[in-house]
Amino acid sequence: MLQKGVVEVERDITFRLAAEEDLERIVQMLADDVLGEERERYEDPLPEGYLKAFKAIESDPNNELTVACHDKEIIGVMQITFTPYLTHQGSWRATIEGVRTSSAVRGQGVGSKMINWAVDRARERGCSLVQLTTDKQRGEALRFYQKLGFTATHEGMKMKL
């Protein structure tokens, strides 16, 4: 039995590059969790910074803002950045960031399908490594990524400016 606001998702999930008209839904998903509600601003109109960031991502051939759709509804989002490195013998790597699924489909395997799709996309682009970070406060996310084959091999560090 479904709860109100919950969408049952079967196997029909498609992936495509995000379009500008998807931006409101994307920001809504980014803001829809404990950490996101502190750092995102989902309001009408959206803050200008979101559109500027979208345009920069869209114009960069090494960045892909990808949405996961069930029928025509956007149920997930992630950004994949492809970066050349001198390390690892000059190979490319993919960084997966900003992964969110709609609260209506969490726990239904959508996140797994998204990450597996992103790993396949990295292979298509010739990457030898896929990396991602998750906030230390997101213990469930850490276990989720480990279940998908990711290992915590490095200690990540950030500096807010």
Residue 136 belongs to domain with CATH number: 3.40.630.30
Residue 159 within any structural domain of the chain: no
Residue 79 within any structural domain of the chain: yes
CB atoms under 10 Å from CB of 84, counted, come to: 10
Is there a cis peptide before residue 45, judged by omega within 30 degrees of 0?
yes
pLDDT in tens, 6-28: 444 556 899 999 999 999 999 99
Q: Which range of residues forms the domain containing residue 100?
A: 13-19+61-147
Which SS3 state, helix, strand or coil, does residue 40 take? coil
Q: Average model confidence (pLDDT) for the chain? A: 89
Residue 86 within any structural domain of the chain: yes
Amino acid at 11: R
Residue 160 within any structural domain of the chain: no
pLDDT in tens, 115-143: 999 999 999 999 999 999 888 888 788 89
Length, in residues, of the chain: 161
Which residue, 56, 55, 24, is CA-closest to 40? Answer: 24
Which SS3 state, helix, strand or coil, does residue 5 take? coil
Residue 52 within any structural domain of the chain: no
- Which residue intervals of 98-150 are DSSP H helices? 110-124, 139-147
Residue 129 within any structural domain of the chain: yes
Query: How far is it, in rounded angstroms, from Cα 147 to Cα 18?
Result: 27
